[in-house]
């Protein structure tokens, strides 16, 4: 990582927790389709995965209709419920001071990413960001990472990914991007380890010492 210039961050579970808003929007969509509500413990492990992966576990109703109801409620709940994960603000400030170009590549739609950035004043940190509605294939396909690197005119030789799910790991590996995995507040730790990221951290606060050690 001695030539590292650009850090591509996942959003949910890596930098933020918007799970309360996601749970509310999922249950709203299920209720609208006459389906039983689901507990947060059942919904949260799917955060960071496409809705098309989650809904078959809860309903056999048309995905497009479920998705439409989800987005209707999510417009009210997702950004409003979002909180910054512990240590993130300090890490972003240190990395910016160190001169890194920082970006976001998330399965969240771009409108919600913009809302999160505006809510926390993160435009001072991030040079570009991409949402799941900007690509044909979301993670674990690598499209969103390729798009994000194009936006800041870099390639995988000078970039790394920081994420919290196997989708981030597999998407990065598909285009030979170095990937650092951070244990998620609602993901599967063992599953993450088995995906074999280049590095794995217990918390985002370990990121700055890791990068400093690998670039000195």
Which pLDDT value is given to residue 143? 98
Asked whether the predicted pLDDT for residue 213 surpasses 90, the reply is: no
Rounded to whole angstroms, the Cα distance separating 51 from 40 reads 15
Of the candidates 115, 88, 82, 81, the residue with the CA atom closest to the CA atom of residue 102: 88
Q: Return the structure tokens found at 143.
A: 């499209």
Q: What is the CATH number of the domain that holds 186?
A: 3.40.50.1000
Q: DSSP assignment, residue 196? A: -
Would residue 1 count as lying in a domain?
no
Place of tokens 């009210």: 76
β-strand partners of 8: 103, 161
Answer yes or no: do 95 and 66 share one domain: no
CA atoms within 13 A on the CB side of 199: 20
Name every residue whose Cβ is closer than 8 Å to that of residue 62 and which is 6 or more positions away in sequence: none
For 30, the domain range is 19-81
Rounded CA separation 45/67 (Å): 18
Alpha helices in 17-120, H assignment, sequence order: 19-32, 40-43, 51-54, 63-81, 88-97, 110-120
How far CA 142 is from CA of 79, 87, 139, in Å, comes to 25, 27, 6
* Number of domains forming the structure of the chain: 2
Question: Does 41 lie in the same domain as 87?
Answer: no
DSSP for 118-131, written as a single string? HHHTGGGTEEEEE-
Tell me the pLDDT tens digit for each residue of 12-68.
999 999 999 999 999 999 999 999 999 999 999 999 888 999 999 999 999 999 999
Residue 188 reports pLDDT greater than 70: yes
Average pLDDT of every residue of the chain: 95
Q: Please indicate, yes or no, if residue 125 is contained in any of the structural domains.
A: yes
H or E stretch including 206?
Answer: none
Percentage of the chain beyond pLDDT 70 is 99
User: Which tens digit of pLDDT belongs to each residue from 72-120?
Assistant: 999 999 999 999 999 999 999 999 999 999 999 999 999 999 999 999 9
Q: Are 116 and 11 within one domain? A: yes
> 37 with 126, same domain?
no
3-state secondary structure of 152: coil
* Residue 189 predicted with pLDDT over 90: no
* pTM given for the model: 0.94
What stretch of H or E contains 141? Answer: none
């Amino acid at each position: 990582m001695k030539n590292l210039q650009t850090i591509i961050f996942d959003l949910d579970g890596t930098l933020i927790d918007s799970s309360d808003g996601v749970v509310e929007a999922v249950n709203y969509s299920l209720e609208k389709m006459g389906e039983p509500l689901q507990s947060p413990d059942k919904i949260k492990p799917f955060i960071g995965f496409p809705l098309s992966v989650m809904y078959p576990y809860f309903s056999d109703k048309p995905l497009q209709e479920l998705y439409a109801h989800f987005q209707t409620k999510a417009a009210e709940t997702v950004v409003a419920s979002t909180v910054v994960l512990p240590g993130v603000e300090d890490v972003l400030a240190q990395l910016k001071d160190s001169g890194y170009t920082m970006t976001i590549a998330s399965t969240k739609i771009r409108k919600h990413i913009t809302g999160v950035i505006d809510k926390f004043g993160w435009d001072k940190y991030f040079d570009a960001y991409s949402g799941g509605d900007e690509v044909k294939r979301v993670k674990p396909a690598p499209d969103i990472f390729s798009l994000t690197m194009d936006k800041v005119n870099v390639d995988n030789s000078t970039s790394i990914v920081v994420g919290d799910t196997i989708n981030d790991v597999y998407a990065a590996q598909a285009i030979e991007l170095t990937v650092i995995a951070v244990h998620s507040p609602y993901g599967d730790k063992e599953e993450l380890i088995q995906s074999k990221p280049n590095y794995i951290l217990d918390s985002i606060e370990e990121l700055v010492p890791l990068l400093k050690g690998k670039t000195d």
